[in-house]
Structure 1
Amino acid sequence: MKRRLAMTDRRYHPALDGLRAVAVICVVLFHAGATSGLADLAPGGFIGVSVFFTLSGYLVTTVLLREIDDSGGLDVRRFWARRIRRLAPASLTIVVGAVVLAPLFWAGFRWVDAAAGAFGYTNWHVIVSGETQLLRTIVGPLGPFWSLAVEEQFYVLLTVAVLVAVRTKQPVRTLSIMVAAGWFGSLLVQLLVSGPQFRLEFGTDARGTELLAGCGLALLLHVRPEALQRSAAWLMPAGIVGFVAILALATTTDYDPPWLLRGGYAAVSVVSAVLVASLLLPGPLTRLLAQAPFVAVGQMSYSWYVVHWPIILIMTSDRIGFDGWPLLVAKVVISSVAAAVLHLAIEQPLRAKRTLIAQ
């Protein structure tokens, strides 16, 4: 087992940070455009969240395989200590900020919205609250936390799956079977579960295909690392096609059309997985996304994601005094500056610090 796990790729791939940058820019332009009278700028920018999901699935599975590689098992405490240090500082800062600023800007904001953001169940909180409460939940200052909740819940399920797999004779095979079954199960949820649009849009079970596609890629490259080089001739151009397809969806797609919720996200997950795989190889797209500006934005993408929406909500045309492109540029610039401060002052220092939970 350890011999096979030793194949896990340990190199840093800056182009993956570049892909993060593209994903978060799509999301920010989607939100900034929709609130600045420029809804046609990036009407499908929410597709960036889907790319985030698949990339996160790939990266977290790679981390888990490394963990098993190094120790022959999974140290759950250490794994979750890293996850908490990675995610909690920035997100909890925004939760506290939303609570403090709510009396000034969001009169309908409630403590249950803050609790959902802090404890990672915003997506189900939105679903249970229903359509009549959407303006308070998903359109509230912590609305984007729904995707963080999906990822955090997924990490719990993946941790359990790994703990089960390492107790079998063929752990990688067992985990691969569970990931494949989960992907098809999530696809069935997309195709068969009835209910309002937001049930499929925010449900962890419905969005699992995107995360599990990344997991599947990590497992495939772990078991067959040679497949990457052998597939290079078609994988690099396929990655470029996938990248163009993602950008086309971001710039042309209306908000979550039925086809996307009914199996479309599963298809997008495959496209995103191919794109991620292509960025592990040298090529023109890899070199482009590995450029310093993309990498820098990608490294602070988490902070930008959690901070941009509250700032956009505060910066209305009534308060700022202008609309359109000037307002959009102001929202993008100010939210990116706030993200840089959050990243450098809170996210990075606390992520690097070994707290008691990591001991």
Structure 2
Amino acid sequence: MPAQTSPRHTHRRVPTPSDIPATPASPPTSARPHIGPLDGLRGVAVAAVLLFHAGNFGGGFLGVDLFFVLSGYLITGLLLKEAATGNGRIDLVAFWGRRARRLLPALAVMVSGTLLLVWAFGAPALIRNALDDGPWVVANLANWHFIADRMGYWNSGDTRVFGHLWSIAVEEQFYLFWPLLLVLVARGRHAGRNVAVVAAAGAVVSLALMLDLVDPIDSTRVYEGTDTRAFSLLLGALMATGPATRAVARLDARPAGWISLALACGIGTYWVLADGEDSPSLFQGGMFLHALAAALLIACLTRAPGSPVGRALGSAPLRWTGLISYSLYLWHWPVYLLLDGERLGFSGWGRTAVIVVVSVAAAALSKLLVEDPIRFRARWARGRTGAVALVAAFAAMAALWAVVPEPHSGAASVDVTQLADGD
């Protein structure tokens, strides 16, 4: 789901998750235990992103990296469980259907609602860019659109209400291709080992691409590219494989808890010290090490959820924030751009508080009225009727996109007769 940082960078866009972030899709069977601290970890990640965009936390953009690792871990665990219980068979259509029910309804509502709000209240630049970016968002190719458009990630996001959706596109592309690869390698007695090898090798290749393609002037290509960010998803996937889970299972709960504490402190320190484009080491291996530390933390939390770190992350406020993290990620950036300092009449922490309250309210309503009903209770959202409803929803979005007028250029408003009269 994908960035603003320090006060001097208040124009930056979201870096996003997931499953920007997102609660994991329901598996084919419900026997999978729920690990509360992972919900809290999502809550921490989305809170960091919100503070980052408000200019109050320079390293908060790394919350998106945490979302990526969590998504890789959770999705791979579900797919491997299905392969193990189905004699190596993974129902790709069912998996993609669950992902669609989980992610697309909230996305469709946010995109449609944002188009209407920008049309009613936004500046011409917001409207123009929203219309330009919208089709790429729907196609889950927003990250490559922004890269091709040469939209500098760190310094030109304040006119793109969908700029944060580059990270959602990265995750959606992962959800499309990774299961296809697992169908080929998650077979036989050594399925877990095969997947672990592929995930580890893919992560190394992704790191090599980042090191090779990084531009010291503009890091947008490596920051938003699916290929150069895949290592975060793949390191999370690696921790869900049999070899990794067996290695973690050998740890007693107490040492796993101490390791969790050390990793959490290290990650937190890195977040405090990192400052985006002013931290070039991020793209020279720093981000890879951060993702590896996050993957190890997730593994240790699954082993010792009752540790001090696990209990802190499992607190009710953080878990609740984690449960609405996907919609919170979707809504916070449009809210940030629409409720600017000029419209509110104040800035600083007061503006941050307003943005957080409005974004949380929008996310809670989205989860209550859109996500949960479609995901858990609506029979029409499944099977053939679900596919028809999805097509109808995106057709309605296309119609909305077509009727929103392109703003006129400011240059066309010059009255030449007044210029003549003044001669």
TM-score, with length taken from structure 2: 0.76
Instruction: Return the letter of the residue paired with 2:367.
Output: H
Task: Give deviations 1:193-222, integer Å, cap 9, x for gaps.
Answer: 24431001000111111111110000046x
Partner of 2:82: 67
Shift of residue 30, structure 1, vs aligned partner: 0.7
1:179–1:216 contact (8 Å) kept in structure 2:
yes
- Is the aligned partner of 1:78 residue 2:94? yes
CA shift in 2, pair 1:204/1:231, >3 Å: farther
Partner of 1:227: 248
Partner of 1:182: 202
Partner of 1:4: none
Partner of 1:45: 60
The total of aligned residue pairs comes to 344
Larger Rg: 2
- Is the aligned partner of 1:209 residue 2:231? yes
1:145 alignment partner, one of 139, 144, 165:
165
How many Å separate the matches in 1 of 2:140 and 2:62?
A: 21
Shift of residue 263, structure 1, vs aligned partner: 1.6
Shift of residue 118, structure 1, vs aligned partner: 1.5
Task: Give deviations 1:121-174, integer Å, cap 9, x for gaps.
Answer: 111111011137987768511111111111111112211111111456633222
Instruction: Return the letter of the residue paired with 2:310.
Output: T
1:228–1:277 contact (8 Å) kept in structure 2:
no
Shift of residue 231, structure 1, vs aligned partner: 5.4
How many Å separate the matches in 1 of 2:190 and 2:152?
A: 49
Instruction: Return the letter of the residue paired with 1:248.
Output: T
- Is the aligned partner of 1:258 residue 2:258? no
Matches within 5 A, 1:282-293: 282-293=306-317
- Is the aligned partner of 1:320 residue 2:330? no
Task: Give deviations 1:18-44, integer Å, cap 9, x for gaps.
Answer: 000000000011112x2xxxxxx3111
Instruction: Return the letter of the residue paired with 1:202.
Output: E
How many Å separate the matches in 2 of 1:114 and 1:82?
A: 23
Partner of 1:93: 109
- Is the aligned partner of 1:339 residue 2:363? yes
Instruction: Return the letter of the residue paired with 1:86.
Output: R
How many Å separate the matches in 1 of 2:154 and 2:70?
A: 28
TM-score, with length taken from structure 1: 0.89
2:130–2:160 contact (8 Å) kept in structure 1:
no
Report SS of the residue matched to 1:107.
helix
Structure 1, 159-168 or 202-211: larger mean CA deviation: 159-168
Instruction: Return the letter of the residue paired with 1:206.
Output: T
Aligned-CA RMSD value? 2.3
CA shift in 2, pair 1:249/1:230, >3 Å: closer
1:187–1:266 contact (8 Å) kept in structure 2:
yes
Partner of 2:174: 154
2:130–2:162 contact (8 Å) kept in structure 1:
no
2:145 alignment partner, one of 125, 130, 150:
125
Matches within 5 A, 1:105-124: 105=122, 106-124=126-144
- Give runs of ≥4 in structure 1 deviating > 4 Å: 132-139
- Is the aligned partner of 1:102 residue 2:123? no
Partner of 1:278: 300
* Structure 1 gap ranges (5+): 1-7, 35-40
Report SS of the residue matched to 1:43.
coil
Partner of 1:199: 221
How many Å separate the matches in 2 of 1:194 and 1:203?
A: 11
Instruction: Return the letter of the residue paired with 1:90.
Output: A
1:18–1:291 contact (8 Å) kept in structure 2:
yes
Instruction: Return the letter of the residue paired with 1:88.
Output: L
CA shift in 2, pair 1:219/1:65, >3 Å: same
Task: Give deviations 1:235-274, integer Å, cap 9, x for gaps.
Answer: 3222212222332233332124211122211101111011
How many Å separate the matches in 1 of 2:247 and 2:273?
A: 37
